[in-house]
Amino acid sequence: MKHLLSLETLPQAQMERILSAGVEIKSHRGRHESQPLKGQTWVLIFSKSSTRTRVSFEVGIRELGGQVMFLNASDIQLGRGEPIKDTARVLGRMIHGAVIRTYAQKDVEEFAQFSEVPTINALTDDEHPCQILTDIFTYQEKRGSIRGKVVTFVGDAACNVAQSWIFAAAKLGFELRLAAPEKFQPSAAVLSRAGGKITCTSDLRAAARGADLLYTDVWVSMGKETESQDRIRQLTGYQINQSLIQLAKPDALIMHCLPAYRGKEIDDQTFEAHAQTIFDQAENRLHVQKAILEWILE
């Protein structure tokens, strides 16, 4: 049985399979679609807010013929302290697959182990694998293979989104530069597990020079709200704006996983100038989630 729990554990060949299936799925949307989830009910269990991930999975599951049930983690007994492994053993007897957004990475791993149904990580504190598969899909849709390209991540380089980029870099053969204050750089352990050509620097302008893709995410991830003031103070300046873009390649793409906080990690003018790419990226969540679902059932 397959799960998608992290990009660290997703082999390169499988990653490439999902990315190329997404191309086919996007081009065939609404025409001759297969219904591999027909007769199945999938559950979404979310402990954190979501717009894109929730809607793309709900729509994707339905378009593939399945039924879907959304559970806010605080509405079920999990929110009152029922252990994840008990929740998993109950749901595993009733549903065919689960998509989980939560805090601890070990919780999605435990759910996968105890539910014995395909389980997808829809964001944890450690990783956001579905997002980064979509980001790479979007880059490749617009510019061709990401192999050999330079991706610069600006902002909180220790967050879940950055960490999934880190685990994708060696597998797909691109250079990753992480521009962040020292406190917001990934741990040496994560970097050594990932391998590949990755540099961490607090020199934002050096990191942006010659980049093919400038990418950012919020400074304050979900669950880190109590650190807001300190994060904003330390990350101020780590922003994608017109002056930074001048340093990147002339055809560089600007991407953001969303939601965006204008004036923080990206300025309004830059965001609006690159809105076409950013919202194509958001739309592609749907096509790539469907590719993930089809792959998981293969």
* Contact positions with ligand NVA (CB under 6 A) in 148-177: 159-161
Residue 159, contacted partner among ligand CP, ligand NVA, none, CB below 5-8 A by kind: ligand NVA
Of the residues 159, 285, 287, 289, only one is catalytic, namely 285
Is 101 a known active-site residue? yes
DSSP state of 212: S
- List residues bridging with 215 in a β-sheet: 153, 255
The nearer residue to ligand NVA, 115 or 221, going by C-beta atoms, is 221
Q: How many residues bind ligand NVA (CB under 6 A)?
A: 9
Is 200 a known active-site residue? no
Is 147 a known active-site residue? no
CA distance 119 to 142: 30
Of the residues 128, 177, 231, 287, only one is catalytic, namely 128
Residues binding ligand CP (CB under 6 A): 50-54, 123, 131, 257-258
Of the residues 40, 217, 239, 287, only one is catalytic, namely 217
Q: Give which of 213, 164, 225 is closest to 6, Cα–Cα.
A: 164
Q: Residue 283: CB partners within 8 Å, gap ≥ 6?
A: none
The nearer residue to ligand CP, 55 or 273, going by C-beta atoms, is 55
The nearer residue to ligand CP, 71 or 92, going by C-beta atoms, is 71
In angstroms, what CA-CA distances link 250 with 129, 209, 253? 29, 11, 9
CA distance 241 to 228: 21
Q: Give which of 164, 159, 172, 151 is closest to 240, Cα–Cα.
A: 151
* Contact positions with ligand NVA (CB under 6 A) in 179-238: 217-218, 221-222
Is 89 a known active-site residue? no
Is 130 a known active-site residue? no
Of the residues 131, 140, 163, 185, only one is catalytic, namely 131
The 119-121 sheet, strands edge to edge: 67-72, 41-46, 97-101, 119-121
The site for ligand NVA (CB under 6 A) is made up of: 123, 159-161, 217-218, 221-222, 257
Catalytic machinery residues: 101, 128, 131, 217, 257, 285
